Amino acid sequence: MFSYFSLTNFNGLGVISSFFFFLFCLLISMTDFQMVSSGFTADEMLEIESIKMYKKELLDDIQKLKMEIDNVMAGILSFESAEENQTLVRSRQFSNGKKKFNMEPKKGINYLVENKLLKRTANSIAEFLYKEEGLNKTAIGEFLGEREALSLQTLKAFVELHEFSDLNLVQALRQFLWSFRLPGEAQKIDRMMEAFATRYCDCNTHVFQSTDTCYILSFAIIMLNTSLHNPNVKEKTTLERFVCMNRGINNGQDLPNELLSKLYESIRNEPFKIPADDGNDLTHTFFNPDREGWLQKLGGRVKTWKRRWFILTDNCLYYFEFTTDKEPRGIIPLENLCVREVNFHRRPFCLELYNPNSQKIKACKTETDGRVVEGKHQSYTICTASAEERDAWIQAIRASITKDPFYDLVSVRKKKVINQAPQD
């Protein structure tokens, strides 16, 4: 009697199909037998009744088998659906984590770790920063530049993911500076370039006598790139000056002129490709400003006062027509500028941004037709609502104003090399 059937006896749908075909044929034969049952003896009729009972039991077993198959298939579909949903949820969480990282790197890393999408280890985070697409290069630089233990360990692991073997210094710098965007703070730059110099010397033990030499020359190359390819630099560095600048940096000895010439020509022929801020660039820039608020700005060509929403962040002063605007009407880089208190007729609480060298300020603004043009201001006059607000803005702007940090860093390292050089 066929009373119970387990799916584990089947090896595939082909077997199931064959079995159902067999049952179908058997039932057909029973039906045909019933149709010609007239004229049988009493014993034969009892046998026929027995066959009918068997047919009923067989139909019940078939129904049970069908229900078992349906339940198993439903379970399989449910499992696959749950797996797909879980994959979708994880994918969304990972995407959210990347967005959070681009906005605030530490919070993004914490989110990914808390959702078990990333391990809180230097190697795991470094690999994420090095390989994952869609990460803001400025955010990567910000995280790697921090002084916290995890960031310092991650910086080391991140640099070790770069392979610099058999590359000259310019080639290695091109690779390194493309993987993130250098931050503006001198101490962060110092730590990053120190890590780069150590890694380069580990990969190329025969090139320099010390990591200090690699460090100094790397900065010299970066400054050379600025000198040769920045249109605002009028006096371009010559090969002779570049060689002279780097005398005695190899533990008191000169580097080969052939090496310096090759590096110089490489930069002159092709500038560094510095990664643009990708991902949520503007959102990242204005997410956590140093200061923001409504101020009055005096026009340059037409001397009228206009109310603008100002945001101070990343060593720049941005101003918007409305707080809801996605892009600023103007950008004032604060590098090498000064700020002071000034008084205007009927406007006592003013401040002025100016260039101490009486040069035009390097700024830009968006015209009403959408064109971005270079600003023509030699100074910017801005009015606040009170003396307290004016003083707070002056203090915040002074804290934000920076000079090129490379020169101080290189100067300190050169003194160290000269002092450590063996004396005759």
192: how many CB neighbours lie within 10 A of its CB? 21
- Angstrom CA distances, 320 to 92, 109, 287, stand at 33, 31, 15
**364-366 and 372-374 beta bridge pairing:** antiparallel
CA torsion, points 79, 82, 84, 86, in degrees to nearest 10? Answer: -140
- Angstrom CA distances, 108 to 73, 99, 129, 287, stand at 40, 7, 12, 14
- Which residue matches tokens 């079995």? 19
Helix (H) or strand (E) holding 297: strand 291-298
What pairs with residue 318 in β-bridges?
A: 311, 331
Which sequence positions are flagged as catalytic? 185
Q: Which residues contact 234 (CB under 8 A, 6 or more apart)?
A: none
First to last CA, the chain: 108
The DSSP line for 385-423 is SSHHHHHHHHHHHHHH----THHHHHHHHHHHHHHHSPP
